[in-house]
């Protein structure tokens, strides 16, 4: 066996078989796929009865029950006997939280988020792009009565998010077009950018000033200012932001807050050994 063949065989043995790239049904465990569909849908609901979940998924109650019973044994879901409802369990959180261990990003960003919240008086957030959406990883909340809240694991459309637009602005036009084609440009408020040309024009402004602004584009009365975080290759891998009510983030305050957010993004970039551009 040649050295190259030996390396190839070793690489396959470590994680994937020879036909790992084969996406046909023969490589899909259908029962597991159905179980994942149950788990994903339950995670989107605030608890559900067996009949509600089976009706929603258009699956037989007996099949859904077997999935839930199996997941309950692993602590992935919980059953409330009083309300007769199923919920996501602590085991699912533990597994999901291990995603954060793949990188030092969250650990490095946490103290920066805290300082950014203290400097601006608004909630500070950390998020990444995941499958064309923004996935929020961490947050430090302000103590103000009215505040923004994005629980870790929350996902949001990129075109109506400060972090989303900060990341889109660092992508090529083709990549942006692909995300728009896949997810669309849903309208959430009268301020949402639903025209592709208007979005591209906004992204050009984001690149020019170094931060993105969500001007009540997802929720009326809430604004967000965000800037990208870069890795060692100078590629945007995450975004950091502050978000809060428009009454506390008026037009006159945006430039100063934008500067604070840029400084925080640069600090996290340096903390993960990254290289800022521009």
Average pLDDT, the chain: 88
Architecture of domain 103-271: 2-Layer Sandwich (3.30)
**CATH number of the structural domain 3-95:** 1.10.10.10
pLDDT reading at 9 higher than 50: no
**Domain segments of the chain: what residues?**
3-95, 103-271
- Helix or strand run (H / E) with residue 73: helix 61-73
Q: What is the pLDDT of residues 57-102, one digit of tens each?
A: 999 999 999 999 999 999 999 999 999 999 999 888 888 766 655 5
Q: What is the pLDDT of residues 227-269, one digit of tens each?
A: 999 998 899 999 999 999 999 999 999 999 999 999 999 999 9
pLDDT reading at 208 higher than 80: yes
pLDDT reading at 2 higher than 50: no
pLDDT reading at 125 higher than 60: yes
Q: What is the pLDDT of residues 153-198, one digit of tens each?
A: 889 999 999 999 999 999 999 999 999 999 999 999 999 999 999 9
Burial letters for 184-210: b for 16+ Cβ neighbours within 10 Å, e otherwise? ebeebeeebbeeeeebbebbeebeeeb
Q: Are 229 and 238 in contact (CB under 8 A)?
A: yes
Q: Is the model's pTM score more than 0.85?
A: no
Q: What is the pLDDT of residues 133-159, one digit of tens each?
A: 999 999 999 988 777 777 788 899 999
The reported pLDDT for the residue numbered 95 is 83
From start to end of the chain, where are the E strands? 77-80, 85-88, 123-130, 133-140, 155-157, 212-215, 222-230, 236-245
Q: What is the pLDDT of residues 210-222, one digit of tens each?
A: 999 999 999 999 9
């Amino acid at each position: 066996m040649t050295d190259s063949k030996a390396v190839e065989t070793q690489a396959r043995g470590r994680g994937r078989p020879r036909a790992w790239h084969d996406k046909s049904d023969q490589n899909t465990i259908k029962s597991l796929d159905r179980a994942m569909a149950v788990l994903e849908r339950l995670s989107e609901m605030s608890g559900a009865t067996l009949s509600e979940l089976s009706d929603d998924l258009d699956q037989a109650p007996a099949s859904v029950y077997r999935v839930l019973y199996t997941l309950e044994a692993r602590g992935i879901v919980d059953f409330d006997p009083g309300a007769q409802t199923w919920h996501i369990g602590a085991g699912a959180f533990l597994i999901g939280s291990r995603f954060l261990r793949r990188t030092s990003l969250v650990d490095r960003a946490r103290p920066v988020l805290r300082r950014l919240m203290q400097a601006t008086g608004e909630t500070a957030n950390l998020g990444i792009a995941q499958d064309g959406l923004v996935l929020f990883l961490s947050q430090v909340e302000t103590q103000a009565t009215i505040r923004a809240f994005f629980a870790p694991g929350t996902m949001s459309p990129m075109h109506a998010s400060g972090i989303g637009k900060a990341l889109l602005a660092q992508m090529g036009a083709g990549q942006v077009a692909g995300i728009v084609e896949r997810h669309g440009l849903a309208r959430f408020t009268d301020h949402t950018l639903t025209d592709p040309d208007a979005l591209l024009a906004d992204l050009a402004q984001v690149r020019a000033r170094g931060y993105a602004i969500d001007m009540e584009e997802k929720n009326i009365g809430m604004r967000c200012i965000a800037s990208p975080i870069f890795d060692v290759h100078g590629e945007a891998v995450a975004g950091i932001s502050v978000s809060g009510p428009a009454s506390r983030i008026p037009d006159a305050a945006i430039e100063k807050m934008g500067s604070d957010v840029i400084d925080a993004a640069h600090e996290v970039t340096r903390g993960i050994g990254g290289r800022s551009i521009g």
